[in-house]
Structure 1
Amino acid sequence: MTVRLYDTQAQALRAFAPREPGHVTMYVCGPTVQSGPGIHHLRAALAFDLLRRWLARRFGRVTFIRNVTDIDDKVLQNATETEPWWALAYRMEQEFTRAYAAIGILPPTYEPRATASIPQMQELIGRLIDAGHAYAAAGDVYFDVRSWPAYGALTHQSVDAMVPTPTPDAADAAPGASGRMGPSAADSDERGKRDPRDFALWKGAKQDEPADAVWSSPWGPGRPGWHIECSAMSRRYLGPEFDIHGGGIDLRFPHHENELAQSTAAGDAFARYWVHNGLVTVGDQKMSKSLGNHLLAADVLAERDPLTVRYALGAAHYRSTLDLTPASFDEAEAALARIRTFQERAARVLGTASPLVAADLPEAFAEALDDDLGVPQALAVVHETVRAGNGALDAGETDAAARALIEVGRMTGILGLNPADPQWRDDTDGAQTAALDALVRAMIVQRAQARADKNWAAADRLRDAIAAAGITLEDSPDGTHWSLDG
């Protein structure tokens, strides 16, 4: 067994082994909760949910940290007189939590808020000042990028070639994989900066900002910069060195570059592997509010079954750009229907007297996930096993059918895509299914009676009415069974 991951810093696939045998440590940049989640947020969170599940299978324990940035320029800007920034942040955090849970994303081991780690951030800033890599100026504190020769190591850029990233207009934010947009407006201020590429570690209090968004510090009242938050929180919960740092590809620069620089300049080894997920586009266009294609998670989940959404967002390779269209969800729904139909058919045919067979994960499935989390290839194994299982049922090969049923359940369970899992059922669905079952069974009885009476015209009418409703009948020695067309 060799797990390989694409390390963004190395720009190559690397064999992965946790620093501590049997225990993987992961830190993933979570959302800035200035507004509700978009579909790109769910794709990013799902990519690392899938990775976490597979690493837990391979190595055992996974400590998974996903932070919440609850103090930020945009959080303050979106607050109102009737909803202060901290109330807005909490309400939006709850929206993210609900959306994550809806598509089966496992809760993190810890989910720290930035505002709960201010002392740790100040301690880290103090270490950087003492080491000569940061300086105070007019109430702010900046990281001195030219004092650290390794700055640019993550994205392989030289300092002189870097251009400070402007902050886009908030009304036309075009979020990428994580919704981040580059440095905040305050980072672009020239208040005491020695170099325009230097970035804020601490931001001095401003008169137009709320008094409760200010903390005391050795450099004057203020609040932390964005980048220092993740360095401090990852160190607090995982220590000075941990296995994997994850996030959207749009976070590589400047956010992750700055994290790496400030942590290593302070003497921490920091992340051993850097893993980034790809962007989300809609109709081959990057999501943008001005283009009207900014998909909100709540809107998508209101229109589509959550399991379908999970399949559609997870079926592409995590590093690829995912282009979402209505067909993406239709294809996911059809794929899940094929899996569900096989599971129901196999369970019905095999019954409680299923033969005892030895079955584990197919080797090809495990090899696909070992190779940089190859979910598309793993799903191909799932569907091939479904086809083989249906073939075994057709041939009456009960051992092979039972083995396929077990394998499909285990593979889809690891991916969080098992239609038979109770988490994907609710009381409403159960009541609707029971009502439909009663109606269809009544028609099946009527059809059987018509055939027994040799009233072929009536039997055909009933058959056609059932088929027109998208229902397939399967006649077998133990009776007639129905399923929705996949």
Structure 2
Amino acid sequence: MASKQPTWEQPQALPGVELPALQIYNSLTRKKNAFVPLDPAGKKVTWYACGPTVYDIAHLGHARNYVSTDIIRRILKHYFAFDVKFVMNITDVDDKIIVRARQRYLLSQFKSKHLTFDDATFEETHAAWKAYVSKNLGLVPAETTTGDFKTATDLAYKNVIEGKSLDGTTTPSEKEAKIKMHIRTAQAAADGLETSRASKSTPPNEIYAKVDDVLLSYLDDLHGSQIDATDHTIFVQLTQHYEKLFFEDMHALNVLDPDEITRVTEYVPQINTFVEKIIEKGFAYETEEGNVYFDIDSFEKVGNAYCRLEPQNRGNEELIKDGEGGLSSKRGDKRSKNDFALIKKSKAGEPAWPSNRWGPSRPGWHIECSVMASAVLGPTMDIHSGGVDLMFPHHDNELAQSEAYWLGEKGCASSNHTWVRYFLHMGHLSIQGQKMSKSLKNFTSIREALTVGEDGIPAWTSRMVRLVLLLGSWKDGVEITEGLVSIAKGWEEKITNFFLKAVDIELSSKDTTISQSSPSSPLSIAFDKAKKETDEALCDSFNTPLVMQAISNLVTEANTAISSDSTTDTATLLSVAHWITRMITIFGLNGTSSPDTATLGWEGVSIPTPAQPVIYRLSQIRDEVRRQARAKAVVPEELEKLTLQPSPATPTPENQSYVTAYETFQSQIKTALTQSSGIETELLRLCDSLRDTVLWDQDIYLEDRDAPLPALVRPLDASMKAARAARESAAQEKILAKERRLAEEAAKKAAAAEKAKIRPQDIFKTDEFAEWDDNGVPTKLKSGEDLPKSRKKKLEKEWKAQKVAHDKWKSEQK
């Protein structure tokens, strides 16, 4: 039956407690609700986030969830000034982990026994391949061999391969994506087996790399049930490995660590106790097979609500089956198909924990979060979050079993107890319309995305990932397109260029009086508008796209102020720059910097601190030298004074290279001024050399601008280095092409000169012909046949050309 949906009651702040006008989209109500924390003082916020199931490497789909969560957490903490306690779980035991760990263990055992890919290894691997194809690609004929597999699949799955649905009549779905994955896996294994058959000398690791995936399921089917259930190390080794990689990836994405981490395997006794209380309250039942299920009917009969997040999916057998796990798909001891497992009787090959009540067993998937969140945060929490795919059945089941446990407890309602006040669900990330999935193997891993390419530039940066997500709503799906990435790159470049100018102005203003802020200046008005729009946007359920637009518009106004001929409102300009710095730092776009940092700009816009006093003064000296040289108005006495100015900083190990550059440039200018001519040319060469070689090699670039603006001092980034390398490569290729062309021309000229030495009467005296006329022009072929008229005409023309060349050669000899 359909569950009665309770009315969500808006929490109210206590009298005298002031809260921001923050509205959060709440999955429980499917609308925005005013955010009121449980804390009577309105300061502390409790938050439980569903963490990863650690059986494989994290991909960009995970980045979407955890980075978006991190952004909201930072906003709550640093913008709205809440004291957030953030708890995240690690799922280190479930059906996927059990299968993956068991498979990896068995594959390792298999390889240790088959160090060479001999005939026996080939036969068993071939059997694994046949089993894989039979199980996953049923349309491929049973008699198909590894050699003709591609032909067979091209025919059997023509529609799928062409990007259509299996029957060719509908839009392709996840079903077709899985078929493509299975074809790729089987084809790789077929190629590996064919390689092994063709060459026994192929290294075994090369073959295993192609056949591993078909061996995994095959070996598990044969030997999985023989695994010792009490040996948890088989499973722990896998989960600890991937948990470590997960947090490495999160750190690379600048995601803050949780305040507390909970792991399922560390809470098994508490889980058993939790389930026992649910049974005692009449909301769960044990079966003869040793399983424990949540009783949805009993829960609802006393007035409670089930399936509150996605009531439309109640009874969805596919989602229910996925929620129960592949190892539980054949459990037939449930009273109702909608009931879900709290405790699973451990079968052969599955890890088991002792229980006095129901024997060796393991926790169900959903119960873990209920127990761990309740243990750390109590009977009610402010926020619970996760990916949108967790709404049903995972979070709906969590709600039911948690509220069943807490009903009637001290301080808790007797029915429809509020376990979670606000549910936040992050939308999916997709590429070409398809959600990333470990099971589909269609994902780009985080570490692969962040890897630096051959051009020195990674496909993604931590900042770029955040920018793409900030440009969209956290609760909606994100489709990665070239257009979206281009917008994000443009936004980043715009902010970087503004920060470079602002940093330059701030450092250049240290020795001067900064103009006072003018409340009526266009920039001040734009600044107030941006701050108001930002506050309204963040209060509107963390509407970061509007904030990004407000910041972009403000930068446009600031750039106008910088380039204006009128006196720049320096104080307001720097206030704008520092405010933008704070906002982008709150969003996590500024590395590990604190939002309260006094440093202007984000990482990558300032040169190293030890370099700043020296290089900025050096740049000023160079500006004046370059100005006079370009104007052909060199005043030696003025430049001589510049060469006498001591370094602004005492040499230290940290700044020695910069001081050396400073002093060397002064010495070079002094020498150039002694020349009798060409002083301007030499001075410009020295200025270019300082910019393009000396400072470039120290990862600093002086970006020359139109007068009267000074050169912009900036650090080098990967794109600038790549662009220069590309230019230098193109220039080098142009030089090489010219050299090749000249060499070819010289070779042709030499060959022509050598040929000119031959008398025209002798040029055709080859065994191709049998007779010649008095001039040496062939008349008969070697076969005795007369030379065709067209051929003879062509040879006579060549004879004349040779005569001209030979006569010229003879005259040159004389």
Same fold (TM over 0.5): yes
Equivalent position to 1:121, from 271, 278, 302: 271
2:360 corresponds to 1:221: yes
Q: How does 1:3-152 map to 2 (within 5 A)?
A: 3-20=22-39, 21-56=42-77, 57-79=79-101, 80-81=104-105, 84-137=234-287, 138-149=289-300, 150-152=305-307
Of the candidates 457, 466, 481, which is equivalent to residue 325 of structure 1?
A: 481
Query: In the alignment, is the contact (CA less than 8 A) between 2:61 and 2:437 conserved in 1?
Result: no
Q: Distance in 2 between matches of 1:183 and 1:394?
A: 63
CA-CA distance at 1:419 after TM superposition: 7.2
Query: Could you say which structure has the larger radius of gyration?
Result: 2
- CA shift for structure 1 position 476: 5.5
Is the CA contact 2:515–2:569 (under 8 Å) kept in the aligned structure 1?
A: no
Report if the CA contact (8 A) 2:92-2:239 is conserved. yes
- Contact persistence 1:24–1:59 (CA under 8 A): no
SS at the partner of 1:307? helix
Q: CA deviation at 1:277?
A: 1.0
Q: What amino acid maps onto 1:69 in structure 2?
A: T
Q: 1:284–1:482: structure 2 CA closer, same or farther, 3 Å change rule?
A: farther
Amino acid at match of 2:271: M
Specify which of 298, 305, 316 is matched with residue 447 of structure 2. Answer: 298
Q: How many residues align?
A: 461
- 1:233 lines up with 2:367 in the alignment: no
Whether contact under 8 Å (1:279, 1:322) holds in the other structure is yes
TM-score using structure 1 length: 0.84
Report 1:264-303 matches (<5 A).
Answer: 264-268=403-407, 269-288=418-437, 293-302=442-451, 303=458
2:388 to 240, 249, 261: 249
Whether the 8 Å contact between 2:702 and 2:712 is mirrored in structure 1 is: no
Shift in alpha-carbon separation, 1:191–1:419, aligned structure 2, 3 A: closer
Q: What one-letter code is carried by the residue in structure 2 that aligns with 1:342?
A: F
**Secondary structure in 2 aligned to 1:65?**
strand
Structure 2 Cα separation of the partners of residues 158 and 406 of structure 1: 48
SS at match of 2:293: strand
1:261 and 2:400 aligned: yes
Closer/same/farther in 2, CA of residues 480 and 260 from structure 1, 3 Å limit: same
Aligned to 1:298, the other structure's residue is in SS state: helix
- Measured against aligned partners, the alpha-carbon deviations of 1:331-378 in whole angstroms (never above 9, x if no partner) come to 323322221221121121132365686999812112111101101011
Mapping for residues 399-418 of structure 1, pairs under 5 Å: 399-418=571-590
25-34 or 342-351: which moved more?
342-351
The structural deviation recorded for 1:154 is 2.3
Q: Is the 8 A contact 2:296 2:339 kept in 1?
A: yes
* 343, 352, 374: which one aligns with 2:543: 374
Between stretches 330-339 and 41-50, larger displacement belongs to 330-339
Determine the C-alpha separation between the residues in 2 that align with 1:270 and 1:290: 32
Find the residue that maps to 2:711 and give its secondary structure.
strand
Q: CA deviation at 1:471?
A: 8.6
Which residue does 2:143 correspond to in 1? Answer: none
Query: Is 1:194–2:335 an aligned residue pair?
Result: yes
Report the Cα distance in structure 2 between the residues aligned to 1:5 and 1:224, rounded to whole angstroms: 33
- Alignment deviations for residues 303-349 of structure 1 (CA, whole Å, 9 cap, x no partner): 32222222223321101110113554443233222212211211211
Task: State the shift of 1:87 in Å.
Answer: 1.2
412-421 vs 22-31, which deviates more?
412-421
Q: Residue by residue, what CA displacement relative to the aligned partner does 1:154-185 show, whole Å, maximum 9, x if unpaired?
A: 223485x5435265xxxxxxxxxxxxx63312
- Structure 2 unmatched ranges of 5 or more: 1-19, 109-232, 408-417, 452-457, 520-526, 634-679, 721-814
Segment of structure 1 superposing worse, 312-321 or 358-367: 358-367
Q: Tell me the SS of whatever aligns to 1:30.
A: coil
Q: SS of the counterpart of 1:148?
A: helix
Shift of 1:148: 1.6
1:376-400 alpha-carbon deviations (Å, 9 max, x no partner): 0111122122222222222322122
Amino acid at match of 1:240: P
Quote the offset at 1:421 in angstroms.
4.2
Aligned equivalent of 1:175: none
Structure-2 separation of matches of 1:479 and 1:305: 31
The structure carrying a bigger strand percent of its residues is: 1
Are the counterparts in 2 of residues 43 and 314 from structure 1 also a CA contact under 8 Å? no
1:215 CA displacement = 3.7
Q: Does 1:309 align with 2:465?
A: yes
Moved more, 123-132 or 304-313: 304-313
Alpha-carbon distance in structure 2 between the residues aligned to 1:366 and 1:130: 49
Answer yes or no: is 1:163 the counterpart of 2:317. Answer: yes
Q: Which residue of 1 aligns with 2:711?
A: 480
Higher relative contact order (CA 8 A, sep 6+): 1
Deviations 1:2-61 (A, max 9, x none): 100111121111111101121111111111001111111111111221111122232420
CA change 1:194–1:389 in 2 (3 A) is same
What's the Cα RMSD here?
3.5
**1:154 corresponding residue in structure 2:** 309
SS at match of 1:247: strand
Residues of 2 paired with 1:307 and 1:92: CA distance?
A: 24
Compute the TM-score of the two structures, normalised by the length of structure 2.
Answer: 0.52
> Taking structure 1 as reference, are residues 478 and 378 closer, same or farther at Cα in structure 2, changes over 3 Å only?
closer
Moved more, 442-451 or 230-239: 442-451
Aligned to 1:343: 499
